[in-house]
Amino acid sequence: MPDSFVPSPLRDNWYQSSSFYGSSFALITSVDEAGVTSIGPYQLSFPFEVIKRRSWMVISRPSSNTVANVRRTLKCALNFVEYDRAQIETILKFGYPGQLPAEKMAYNTFTLVDSPTPGRTGPGLPQIIGEAFQVFECTLDVDRIAANPILRDSASAHLLLNIDNILVKQRWKGRIDGSGDEMPRVPLTYGFRGGATFWFGEAQPAFKLPIPDLGARHEVVHYEANRIDDGVRFTLEASKQLTGIPRPFLRQVLEGIVWQAKKRGVAEIGPEFLEQLNKERK
Ligand SMILES: Cc1cc2nc3c(=O)[nH]c(=O)nc-3n(C[C@H](O)[C@H](O)[C@H](O)COP(=O)(O)O)c2cc1C
């Protein structure tokens, strides 16, 4: 007998009071008025703009230390740590509202270190978590928040953060492209449930599957082509002309075209440019 769907009433914080939402989370470091770097865990923390601009959205209760600190200093770092059962209790304690940053730092079991980025240490600039596998260094986009009524007037604080730098540990850097057999083991949270418990989960080891080959559709070519170099755009028409390239060679061919475009200072690749390259090859 299949289970049936029943309605779940909408409540505030519906993602954890009316439904299941499991995801990773960031540990946000920011600096308080006394100059202390503090750590706050945030599950509602996602990539926001991913093409051309690199931004991030954090949704917080408006009275958190993180919100006050970031609004004052404009800076924060999003630290992503791997699953470590021994650290979960510290993370949970960091999530308990009403603690001053100095109180949190008294029981902190993570190592705070200076950012290796030039110009990213000093007053108002947060330290980062040494154990993190990656860190996003961010600046609050005050102007675009003020210009957007949803972000500006929400009952929650919506921190629109521009990502200035992405730092990845050496061990993981070479695996971003999916080479190797491992991914960082991101911890999961399902949030606050039922008034007395906070749920966490452990990710299973990651595995990879080959992308199904549904033929060289021009959308696929277009997507691949336009993520090679921010300074070079392929028009849809150009992508349509490139659908004949066998999948295993696609990336290499596209990179070759981008290389030629850059060499010649061409920012937009249309059919004419491809034709010109074709002619030269003959
Ligand atoms: C794993 C985890 C995820 C959390 N995610 C959020 C969140 O997305 N938004 C939020 O307002 N509070 C969230 N909290 C609660 C905050 O961490 C809590 O408000 C805390 O006081 C924030 O620290 P801060 O005041 O130093 O910024 C989360 C807590 C935990 C343990």
What confidence tens digit (pLDDT) does each residue in 49-108 have? 998 899 999 999 999 999 999 999 999 999 999 999 999 999 999 999 999 999 999 999
Are residues 147 and 244 part of one domain?
no
What CATH number does residue 237 fall under? 1.10.8
Last residue of one domain, picked from the residues 148, 176, 202: 202
Are residues 129 and 97 part of one domain?
yes
- pTM for the full predicted model: 0.85
CA dihedral 132, 40, 67, 45 (to 10 degrees): 60
54 located within any domain? yes
Are residues 175 and 108 part of one domain?
yes
CB 91 within 8 A of CB 142: no
Lowest mean pLDDT among 121-125, 167-171, 212-216: 212-216
Task: List helix spans (H) across 74-194.
Answer: 85-94, 101-107, 142-146, 149-153, 170-173
CB 239 within 8 A of CB 245: no
Distance CA 203, CA 162 (A): 28
Distance CA 236, CA 219 (A): 8
46: helix, coil or strand?
A: strand
Are residues 149 and 65 part of one domain?
yes
Q: Give the domain range for residue 233.
A: 218-281
275 located within any domain? yes
Pairing mode, if any, of strands 128-129 and 134-140? Answer: unpaired
Are residues 229 and 196 part of one domain?
no
Q: 39 alpha carbon to ligand 1 midpoint, in Å?
A: 10
Are residues 116 and 193 part of one domain?
yes
Q: 146 alpha carbon to ligand 1 midpoint, in Å?
A: 23
Are residues 102 and 138 part of one domain?
yes
209 located within any domain? no
Residue 40 CB less than 6 A away from ligand 1: yes
Distances (CA, A) of 18 to 9, 22, 126, 173, 197: 6, 13, 35, 38, 15
The model's pLDDT over 145-185, given as tens digits with 9 standing for 90+, comes to 999 999 999 999 999 999 999 999 999 999 999 999 999 99
80 located within any domain? yes
Last residue of one domain, picked from the residues 202, 232, 263: 202
Residue 60 CB less than 6 A away from ligand 1: yes
Last residue of one domain, picked from the residues 169, 202, 235: 202
Are residues 162 and 228 part of one domain?
no
What integer is the mean pLDDT of 206-223? 85
Two structure tokens written together for 6? 């029943």
Are residues 126 and 87 part of one domain?
yes
Residue 64 CB less than 6 A away from ligand 1: yes
Are residues 168 and 102 part of one domain?
yes
Task: Determine which helix (DSSP H) or strand (DSSP E) holds 225, and give its type and residue range.
Answer: helix 218-225
Are residues 272 and 161 part of one domain?
no
What CATH number does residue 147 fall under? 2.30.110.10
211 located within any domain? no
Higher pLDDT: 214 or 193? It is 193
228 located within any domain? yes
Q: Whose CA is nearest to atom 2 of ligand 1?
A: 41
Are residues 48 and 88 part of one domain?
yes
pLDDT of 204 over the 70 cut: yes
Number of folded domains in the chain?
2
